[in-house]
Chains A and B, each alone.
Chain A
């Protein structure tokens, strides 16, 4: 990931900043400039809950080279308690014990590093609650 792109995503990656359409109330994560429901461009910033449950998940056994040292690892769709849905890796878990509906909490983790000398990419992962 390029440094400017990482930097632009900091509010959502570090503190789950989303936007809510002021006109129709629709929630967007990641934030977007125009509401796809009512075309409004007026939003307020909201912070998503860091608690939720697993909607569905899959286990990756063959991963891109950057993540290959972590295999096998699960990726899940998680519904947060404020009903937003996000996609995240599940970490610190016993893969055999994961189930749909399992309560999880989001934590900041190291997602990847850009080689030996590039930046460290931090972001959220889910941990069994």
Chain B
């Protein structure tokens, strides 16, 4: 058996409300709230970035299970906001948890799918017997250009998973991955903000890939949507995951626990992974969980997990994901938000 042996999430405490962004640009906040099910989004603090959030998520995973750092054979950080263009985030995480030097590290990038890629690869390495534990991280401090539709959703957060063969809390039962070349969203080298294809990001991009990956995973495993307790999808907003879950035959109850975009926005590479941690916080033994990510460019990774009874000895040792979502929140106005996210150029 190969699966998740521990997990942790981190979401910064700062938030900005959709109304407070819309007000600055003369936009209609209701169209974002009702149309896209977005209420507010998380914002990284001035001293936070993909690396610091990745490490705190990892430390939460280590609080849940004391994994010997010498046995961690791989550390992968998936993000589209690595603090350095050249110099890996993963080396800093490996150093901080003392997994160095006998460790394979790499940074991954695939728009919002980079986080599940790290899970996909560590799963393969552990299954092949090449490493004992792998650390898979998805984290982002994503940015939308001022007055762009993405500014209402681009958020910050991280999730980390140790993958191994012993004391598994959620077994990985099956995976499926699909990819095509679809230019729905991109950021050219040296550009601060991404560009996107507007409506083109829906049907030929998100819905096509997430639906295909979900459908193929169900076909491959012979599992029906009714047998799955929780379904978790990538959340560019609150609306897309609800629509795709319906297309796949899931009810609102099956996606409710993992639907975090209305409260924290789109945490990009961390989006589906943070939702998975929220579900693991409440799941019961033998529950089946399906997770499907999406990365523009474009592709989806799908996973089917089965929760084991080791979850009961593990999960209470660190802060729950919902406590990060709901507690100790500080609301920023647009001015402070612009300062926190380096949107003001000071020469």
A residues contacting B by CB (< 8 A) are 10, 14-15, 50, 69-70, 91-92, 107-111, 120, 122, 125
Contacts and interface: CB of A to CB of B under 8 A. Distances in A.
Given A15-B96, A15-B98, A92-B13, A108 B46 contact: no
Contact of A108 (B52, B98, B339, B346): B52
A8 to B, nearest CB: 13
Looking at A10, A69, A91, A122, the one whose CB has the most chain B CB atoms below 10 A away is A122
Given A109-B48, A110-B52, A122-B92, 7 more contacts: A15-B97, A70-B47, A107-B59, A108-B96, A109-B45, A109-B52, A120-B51
Interface string B78-101: 000001100000001001111000
24 contacts: A14-B96, A50-B59, A69-B339, A69-B346, A70-B46, A91-B45, A92-B13, A107-B56, A107-B59, A108-B51, A108-B52, A109-B45, A109-B47, A109-B52, A110-B47, A110-B49, A110-B51, A111-B47, A120-B51, A120-B84, A122-B51, A122-B52, A122-B92, A125-B47
B13 A107 contact: no
A122 B89 CA distance: 12
Interface residues of B, number: 20
Interface string B315-347: 000000000000000000000000100000010
B126 interface: no
Interface string B53-97: 001100100000000000000000000000110000000100111
A50 B346 CA distance: 35
Contacts of B339: 69
A14 to B, nearest CB: 4
A69 B92 contact: no
